[in-house]
Amino acid sequence: MTTTTTATPTTLQDCRALDAQDPLRSLRAHFTLPADTVYLDGNSLGVLPTATAARVADVVAREWGQDLIRSWNTASWFDLPQRLGDQLAPWIGAGKGEVVCTDSTSINLYKVLSAALNIAREASPARRRIVSERSNFPTDLYIAEGLCKERGLELVLVEPEDIPSALTADVAVLMLTHVNYRTGAMHDMAATTAAAHAAGILTVWDLAHSAGAVPVDLQGAGADFSIGCGYKYLNGGPGAPAFVWVNPRHAGRFWQPLSGWWGHAAPFRFTPDYQPAAGIGRYLCGTQPIISLSALQCGLDVFDAAVPLGGMPALRAKSLALTDLFIRMVEERCAGHGLGLATPRDHARRGSQVCLTRTEGAYAIVQALIARKVIGDFRQGDGGTGPHLDILRFGFTPLYIGFEDVWNAVEHLRQVLETGEWRRPEFNQTNAVT
Ligand SMILES: *Cc1c(COP(=O)(O)O)cnc(C)c1O
């Protein structure tokens, strides 16, 4: 990476001054974080909200242990997926009654992609392709591949710059992840959706790296279907339920394929035939994981606490300030060590993470940083046609990351590179989960 700044180098005091002026500073107190850790992996597994442990204990000991089956009514367990959906809705530009929190992102993708294919192909059976990005998150591609196999359709994978020319008359659905997991590059949802619609194509947006991280306006973009993750920026806990949104113009049109009893219009009438619930309720399948949903609620509650402090505009401003600072300081302090930048500098195209590239040693550098309690992660190069570049990925969650954390992270990175510490054998052994 070449140095592009001529301004005076950033100092630790500068970073502390930025923290002192940060209107969101108080939100960090809503989380339980190890004191000496700089956690830059909230885009992969969010941190623990302080309220979660007591909430989960209460659900287990009182709601389940004491109140037993009555809690479906008395603790409103039954409509928890809808209530959490309503709580999340304003953060993704959705309306009340349009979102449910349920199942996993992969499963929800199967539901909405099936529904989107049904709608598009009913209008025009000649549409037999799904278009996506070659560097989309693998589970999205695998689910699409499975559906294509099941239905005799075709999955077409293209580079982001080739999406417009791929929107041809034989395409049913454009399936994209809004913020790319590997590079942090963000699509223009409104413009891309408009281009798809102009070609008669429906859109499915994966918000795994967007919900709670960047402004999202599903309604404003006129998007068709959307899904996203509960355990990343929403801090719902490992394996937290995901969410699903369907534009009201489609929500009542098709059964989703997993037509279980929780998506029935009246599950407790126990009729032998399936009558789908009106709207988004039909995207539920079976009995919900109440303990996990309760933990997810604690994650969403912190976002409610961010509203009086400026809400998403303030979170976005801080996220961009953090990622700008990280990029600038890496350029100032780690120059000459073969690092590149995979994340767009353009704010309009950047999510809430910074991805650095290196031809060699990226995994070991990340391991050496983790040993120093600076936690980011490694993602393998995408095997494309260019030079092989692995990725060092750093997520910046403005709810709890501060500017001094940026300073510390870059200082550790500089030391790991300058001392060659990353070459040690223990940092070069691959773990099962990277
Ligand atoms: C993290 C992520 C997922 C995760 O899917 P799971 O079903 O929760 O394992 C899916 N898609 C994208 C784009 C992701 O980033």
- If one residue of 43, 110, 140, 352 were mutated to test the ligand 1 pocket, choosing by the most ligand atoms within 8 A of its CB, it would be 140
What per-residue confidence (pLDDT) applies to 252?
87
Geometric angle at alpha carbon 387, from 384 and 390, rounded to 5°: 80
Residue 365, both tokens: 């550098």
Decide: 135 in ligand 1 pocket, CB within 6 A.
no
What per-residue confidence (pLDDT) applies to 434?
74
Nearest CA to ligand 1 atom 4: 105
- Whether residue 202 has pLDDT greater than 70: yes
What per-residue confidence (pLDDT) applies to 383?
63
Distance of CA 137 to the CA centre of its chain: 11
CB neighbours (10 Å) of residue 347? 13
Residue 412 CA to ligand 1 center (angstroms) comes to 29
Mean pLDDT of 114-138: 97
Among candidate residues 211, 176, 216, 208, the one with its CA nearest the CA of residue 93 = 216
Q: Where are the beta strands (DSSP E) in 213-328?
A: 225-228, 242-246
Decide: 182 in ligand 1 pocket, CB within 6 A.
no
Give yes or no for a contact between 398 and 410, defined as CB atoms under 8 angstroms apart: no
Geometric angle at alpha carbon 265, from 263 and 268, rounded to 5°: 90
Decide: 110 in ligand 1 pocket, CB within 6 A.
no
Mean pLDDT of 363-378: 97
Give CA–CA dist 220/190, Å, rounded.
Answer: 7
Segment 218-248, tens digit of pLDDT:
999 999 999 999 999 999 999 999 999 999 9
Nearest CA to ligand 1 atom 15: 208
- Partner residues linked to 15 by β-bridges: none
- Whether residue 1 has pLDDT greater than 90: no
- Whether residue 431 has pLDDT greater than 80: no
DSSP state of 157: E
Among candidate residues 326, 337, 333, the one with its CA nearest the CA of residue 376 = 326
What per-residue confidence (pLDDT) applies to 432?
76
- Whether residue 384 has pLDDT greater than 70: no
Nearest ligand 1 atom, CA 44: 1
What per-residue confidence (pLDDT) applies to 387?
75
CB neighbours (10 Å) of residue 16? 14
Give CA–CA dist 264/278, Å, rounded.
Answer: 9
Helix axes 311-333, 290-306, angle to 10 degrees: 90
Give CA–CA dist 222/197, Å, rounded.
Answer: 9
Say what the pTM is.
Answer: 0.96
- For the chain, what is the radius of gyration of the CA atoms? 22
3-state helix, strand, coil in the chain (%, to 5): 45, 15, 40
Decide: 106 in ligand 1 pocket, CB within 6 A.
yes
What per-residue confidence (pLDDT) applies to 8?
78
Mean pLDDT of 12-36: 97
- Whether residue 3 has pLDDT greater than 60: no
Give CA–CA dist 36/26, Å, rounded.
Answer: 18
How far CA 388 is from CA of 383, 384, 391, in Å, comes to 7, 8, 10
Residue 37, both tokens: 């850790």
Burial of 238 (0-12, 13-18, 19+ CB in 10 A): exposed
